[in-house]
Amino acid sequence: MTTHANEILSIRHLTVDFGGVRAVNDVSFSLRNGEMVALIGPNGAGKTTIFNLITNAVQPTGGEILLNGRNILGKSPDQICRLGISRTFQNIRLFPQMTAYENVELGLHSTPRYSLAEAFLRTARARRIESDTRQKALELLEMVNLQEHAHARASSLPYGLQRRLEIARAMATSPQLLLLDEPAAGMNEDECNELIELIRKIHNLMKYTIIIIEHHMAVVMELCRDSRIYVLNLGSLLTVGAPQEIQNNPDVIKAYLGERKNARDLSAS
Q: Which residues in this chain contact other proteins in the complex, by CB under 8 A?
A: 55, 57, 76-78, 81-82, 86-87, 89, 93-98, 102, 105-107, 109-114, 116, 119-122, 126, 130, 133, 169-170, 172-173
Q: How far is the CB of 162 from other proteins (least distance, A)?
A: 12
CB closer to other proteins, 156 vs 269 = 156
Q: How far is the CB of 140 from other proteins (least distance, A)?
A: 13
CB closer to other proteins, 13 vs 134 = 134
Q: Could you tell me if 24 and 45 are in contact, meaning their C-beta atoms sit under 8 angstroms apart? A: no
CB closer to other proteins, 83 vs 218 = 83
Q: Could you tell me if 169 and 94 are in contact, meaning their C-beta atoms sit under 8 angstroms apart? A: yes
- Side chain identity at residue 54, one-letter code: I
Q: How far is the CB of 118 from other proteins (least distance, A)?
A: 8
CA distances from 54 to 169, 207, 217 (A): 18, 20, 24
CB closer to other proteins, 115 vs 204 = 115
CB closer to other proteins, 100 vs 196 = 100
Q: How far is the CB of 3 from other proteins (least distance, A)?
A: 26
Q: How far is the CB of 111 from other proteins (least distance, A)?
A: 6
Q: How far apart (Å, rounded) are the C-alpha atoms in residues 141 and 104?
A: 8
Q: How far is the CB of 81 from other proteins (least distance, A)?
A: 4
* Cβ contacts of 50-56, under 8 Å, gap ≥ 24: 50/11, 50/14, 50/24, 50/232, 51/87, 51/179, 51/181, 51/211, 51/213, 53/14, 53/16, 53/24, 54/9, 54/11, 54/80, 54/85, 54/87, 54/179, 55/80, 55/81, 55/85, 55/87, 55/179, 56/80
CB closer to other proteins, 49 vs 173 = 173
SS3 breakdown of the chain: % helix, strand, coil, rounded to 5? 40, 25, 35
DSSP 8-state symbol, 49: H
Q: How far apart (Å, rounded) are the C-alpha atoms in residues 216 and 227?
A: 17
Measured in whole angstroms, how far is the alpha carbon of residue 192 from the centre of its chain?
A: 16
CB closer to other proteins, 105 vs 214 = 105
Q: How far is the CB of 107 from other proteins (least distance, A)?
A: 5
